[in-house]
Structure 1
Amino acid sequence: MPELQRAAARATAAKHRQAEGTGETVRIGHVEMRCGADHPLVPRLNRAYLFSDRFNDIVEDIVENRRVMLIGHTGAGKTSLIEQVAARSRHGVLRSNMNGQTTVGDFVGFWTVKGGETIWVDGVLPTAMREGLWLIVDEIDFAEPSILAALTAVLEPHGRLVLKEKGNEIVAPHPDFRLFATANAVGAMSQFRHLYQGANLMNEAFLDRWRVYLLDYLTPAEEADVLMATLAPHMTRTLATTLAAIAADCRAAFAREDLSSAFSTRRLLDWAELMLRTGDPERAAAPAIYAKVSPEDAALIRGIIRHHIAPAPGA
């Protein structure tokens, strides 16, 4: 272990020296990352976003141009992590959601007729590769096999895409191009496949082309910090801790399959913001939580909330 730690320290120092010589950089967590050129697709910066220490390895992989897949339950922050890294380093992001309606033409490209002329339209993959954008393939475990086949060609760090429909044109990746995927029911999450109906199995040969990270929800302490930072100065520490505990209980119920819907940090923030406006947790929960879930889930969540926050007299 001491020898391994010395080797890792030398490698990290070398990467930092290399980054210093490549223009403007920004520190994200413990990692120095080169900034991109400003682009209209740079995500909106969330200054309250919390970069946990467990994200450092992911940011390192982005710097090294690894293919990164983030797995975890809905609302665990998989996509937002990539977007907030991009926001801080000023890289444009494209997202392609594998919702069952995304075709290989949408992803790779297609011929169409415009003004009497037949023209080629790049899909999101060659567009990102040519322009040096970051491409997030959301819910890749729902992707069509033809899309996965097209992806396989570019999963190596410098892999190229062959556009067979365009006379075998070769698309080489821009140095800033990065490829990400998110999934709910892959690898370590396979045990939850029954919660995500329609998710496809992915073989180990495909997964071995990615660095796969399991993302869990924020801890209650971390989530309380996010609430404080996002809704300052109105959010108190006591209320933030209580709301984070409610979210944790709802997620535990989801893991037990007592709830059929997850409880994202985004949902928690929306509820908290509306609660500060109305002064009433139940009134705020109606549009922020209850209307988005089944009546059975709403009743269970209402019970969890009332366990932590006593209802107003007469409620």
Structure 2
Amino acid sequence: MNTDNKTINNAEYFIEKEPYYQPSSNEIEIFNTALAENIPVLLKGPTGCGKTRFMEYMSWYHKRPLIAVSCHDDLTTSDLVGRYLIKDSSTVWQDGPLTTAVRNGCICYLDEIVEARKDTTVVIHPLCDDRRILPLEKLGQLLKASPDFCLTMSYNPGYQSAVKDLKPSTRQRFISIDFSYPAEDIESVIVHEESKLDLKQCELLVKLANMTRNLVGNGLEEGASTRLLVHTAKLIYRGFEPNMACKCGIADAITDDDDTKTLLHEMIDTVF
């Protein structure tokens, strides 16, 4: 049996170009302190509010490789830790993304962690306390985390339920940074920088987004995200009429309910 312990390379995991990120609170200072003290970090916030971009920025800022895992219902412990594979008529151990991060001192980002199976998330517990070890049961090893290893997770509290929630035993291993949509002036600048659309039009898009966010719980599960605003702004920048771009990029993207879409279309007509 051979082991294929993956070594990272610049092209795959390092972020060479500075991602655009506009802080809205003290999230950078909190993360820097957590990183220095080897404290795991939990990012909480709605869809498309900048959690993943924040992680990309912090990876670039600290010049540490970032390994991101999009969690889902079928994510198994082997998907994270590793498994045996058949290669050239022999059995080879292949590290999973979490093990690769632990070995190489990466930032490991588990996106939407509540989507993963509960028996899968338990594997991270020994990494999130003073032990900082990853049990590799199939290899019979306890892998000590590199000093530079950092574990971060994100989830959307708006999707919380009895079925999809973090166990207290998991939650209390992390410090939490709350994310929300930025203040209007900051969000307008973000949309402008990402899309190059005129700032005045970006301000109108943010105004519309806040109107949709006021409908959460009254026809909408979530309002328009900053990500959706950037997509819509790019359509307008490319020549689409603002009213049509907003209907395609915002209203029809956040709901399939005909009555709610009619209301959103009326909002768009009012703003534009």
Task: Tell me by how many angstroms 1:305 deviates.
Answer: 1.6
**In the alignment, what sits opposite 2:39?**
66
Task: Tell me by how many angstroms 1:59 deviates.
Answer: 3.1
**In the alignment, what sits opposite 1:173?**
145
Paired positions, count: 261
Structure 1 residue 100 corresponds to structure 2 residue 73:
yes
The unaligned stretches of length 5 or more in structure 1 are 1-36, 310-315
Q: What letter corresponds to residue 156 of structure 1 in structure 2?
A: D
Match of 2:95 among 117, 122, 125: 122
Q: For residues 181 and 69 of structure 2, what CA distance do their matches in structure 1 show?
A: 23
Larger RCO of the pair (alpha carbons < 8 Å, separation 6+):
2
Q: Is the 8 A contact 2:49 2:226 kept in 1?
A: yes
Taking structure 1 as reference, are residues 74 and 220 closer, same or farther at Cα in structure 2, changes over 3 Å only? Answer: same
Q: For residues 226 and 18 of structure 2, what CA distance do their matches in structure 1 show?
A: 13
Q: Is the 8 A contact 1:227 1:235 kept in 2?
A: no
Q: What letter corresponds to residue 199 of structure 1 in structure 2?
A: K
Q: What letter corresponds to residue 239 of structure 2 in structure 1?
A: T
The unaligned stretches of length 5 or more in structure 2 are 1-8
Taking structure 1 as reference, are residues 205 and 163 closer, same or farther at Cα in structure 2, changes over 3 Å only? Answer: same
Q: Is the 8 A contact 1:142 1:198 kept in 2?
A: no
**In the alignment, what sits opposite 2:213?**
251
**In the alignment, what sits opposite 1:199?**
164
Between structure 1 and structure 2, the one with the greater Rg is 1
**How many percent of aligned residue pairs carry the same amino acid?**
22
**In the alignment, what sits opposite 1:132?**
105
**In the alignment, what sits opposite 1:242?**
204
Task: Tell me by how many angstroms 1:100 deviates.
Answer: 0.6
Deviations along 1:245-276, one digit per CA (max 9) or x if unpaired, are 1111112212x342134422111011012112
Q: For residues 110 and 40 of structure 1, what CA distance do their matches in structure 2 show?
A: 21
Match of 1:183 among 119, 143, 155: 155
Give the root-mean-square deviation of aligned CA atoms.
2.4
Q: Is the 8 A contact 1:73 1:262 kept in 2?
A: no
Structure 1 residue 144 corresponds to structure 2 residue 117:
yes
Q: For residues 146 and 71 of structure 1, what CA distance do their matches in structure 2 show?
A: 21
Q: What letter corresponds to residue 193 of structure 1 in structure 2?
A: Q
**In the alignment, what sits opposite 1:27?**
none
Q: For residues 151 and 225 of structure 1, what CA distance do their matches in structure 2 show?
A: 37
Structure 1 residue 223 corresponds to structure 2 residue 187:
yes
Q: Is the 8 A contact 1:289 1:298 kept in 2?
A: no
**In the alignment, what sits opposite 2:242?**
281
Task: Tell me by how many angstroms 1:211 deviates.
Answer: 0.2
Q: TM-score when scaled to structure 1?
A: 0.75
Give secondary structure in 1 for the equivalent of 2:182: coil
Q: For residues 185 and 97 of structure 2, what CA distance do their matches in structure 1 show?
A: 38
Give secondary structure in 1 for the equivalent of 2:198: coil
Give secondary structure in 1 for the equivalent of 2:124: helix
Q: For residues 18 and 214 of structure 2, what CA distance do their matches in structure 1 show?
A: 27
